[in-house]
Structure 1
Amino acid sequence: MLNFDEDRFLKIQGGAVALRQRLDAVIGQCLSAGAENIFFLGTGGAAILMQPALQLLQRSSRFPAYIDLPAELVLTGSAHLTEKSIVVMPSLSGTTKESVALLARLKEIGATVITLVGHENTPLGQGGDHVFVNFAEDDTSCESFYLQSLFIALSILHHRNEIRNYDEIVTELDRLPALLLEVKRAYEPKAENFARKLAASDYHIITGAGNVWPQAFYYGMCILEEMQWIRTRPVHASDFFHGTLELIDKDVSLVLFKGEDDLRPLAERIENFAPTYTEKLLVLDTAALDLPGISKPVRALISPILLATVLERISAHLEVMRNHPLTTRRYYKRVAY
């Protein structure tokens, strides 16, 4: 595979899976101690990656779950954010400015803070009540953060007796690192062609629904915009027919992500509409990816992980054909802002 270290990938995703039991124990302790809600409070891309876990809890549990922006909470607070709150703060660097600022506020409030970081010797790596460290880099962090947040959501469902097949689900998830590697290998021959089509346009509308919508938002903002300087318009599939459809013509690129949860029909609606009006429809469908031994319910849960793992292959080809390394920045962590 192009510019890819298989052993490093397995180590990082295996590291995320290895955190599951301790995450489950910490969540169990928090609930036993009377926790009343959970907040996912990341910044930027890391925050977006928490959204599938939030969706799972909001649709499957009566335990209140929230997502908010640290930059806003520092200024406004929240009536729901109390000493009875569990706060999950993801940050690959462990130094994200807005999240570090909120951490001090959380200490004053008395909330229980769980930090998910890639580096321990950092403000967030040292500042959480429960710190979970799994080294990763930009090309491997999506799957890692998706897995860790999914384990947290499943643990809440498990301890509240809101899920029947917890043990079966996590047993399947334990096998995921090796399976994801095989997904990458199988998709590699297709990745260059998909990347070539992305490179052919300097503007993309990118859309999806359900638990893959966050990956559409993330890929548009954090990869195509931040790492490739390609303009995008991420729009949720539910909103596509309420404005954005008017931008579609034969020369407008539309990128559609399809997952396998109950919201798949929203993506299919766009897929049925678009070919009549644009010659540049790109569809990435997790159902086309082979994942032996993984049940349909678990496939539905991990659709954003599957997208992330093949999009990494697409990005690897995109940076080469555009001669624009994914690490190149003009402003991000380069100038004062």
Structure 2
Amino acid sequence: MRIWRLNELGDPAEQLRLVDEEAPSPGPGAVLIDVEAVGLAFPDVLQCRGQYQVKTGPGHTPGGESCGRIAALGDDVTGLEIGQRVAFLGSGGLAEQVTHPAAGVFPVPDGVSAETAAAIPINYCTTLYALRDRAHLQAGESVLITGAAGGTGTAAIQLAKAMGARTIAIAGGDTKVELVRELGADVVIDHRETPDWVDAVREASGGGVDVAYDPVGGDTFHQVRRCMGWDSRLLVIGFVAGIPEVKTNHALLKSYSIVGVHWGASLAKYPDSLGEQMRELLEMAAAGTVAPPLYPPYAFEDAATALQDLADRKTHGKVVVTL
């Protein structure tokens, strides 16, 4: 069985190795899965570099969201069948076969591809939690989305639209701008053409947005905070461009909330939430309500390149590796 392993902490292209190992066997309460597709996200890059909240080291296998078919059942597993396609969350997905607790796999409805199922867990669960549980987004409200052509950004456009909100998307370059338009964003602003886009957002939102969804951070965060409306909610999703220093006096003057979104930690607080989110989102995918836009899939042998391209911001939509 082939599996990707981290040699030393560093950039994926330099430190990931494809090696042969003995295939695993499912223990009691677990299943063996033939992996078909693996979704990659920026935290995978950070884990390779040793810069993520969850520390890793040599021997680590990236790939936190996967889809495949059950190849074998461990003892005491019920309700699942060999050959059934399932999606699951957990590091180590970049391998030809993996074992996983049966309680943590979610059947994929007919008509939903392995690539689509692998693109859902992190980006769409994070976004559903952010918009519904943290922002309490209401129909008719406006949502500003930075990094709108990325994995979380595209999820935010689709889920905000499904919740009846009006979306204002920030993306850079013709390809990314066209992508977010195709996803149905109501207003699209190209930050390469309009580097100072605050006035454009204010005009589009009638003076300020109700919710901001910011996975970028850095200097972008300071543009976002200037777009906030009265009693609005600024969602802190991530820091692709660095961790900004927050000017709390500005939040006081405009009476908006800066809301942290740590979806991963929420799963420990609310253990049943992952299953509820995954079932809801897979049903939405089967109905066509959400459809993750996929960057052209990478072959399994090119997984290190896929992660490096993600790190270098050469991709858009969701990056998926297929087997």
Query: TM-score of the superposition, structure 1-length normalised?
Result: 0.35
Query: TM-score of the superposition, structure 2-length normalised?
Result: 0.36
User: Which is strand-richer, 1 or 2?
Assistant: 2
User: Which is helix-richer, 1 or 2?
Assistant: 1
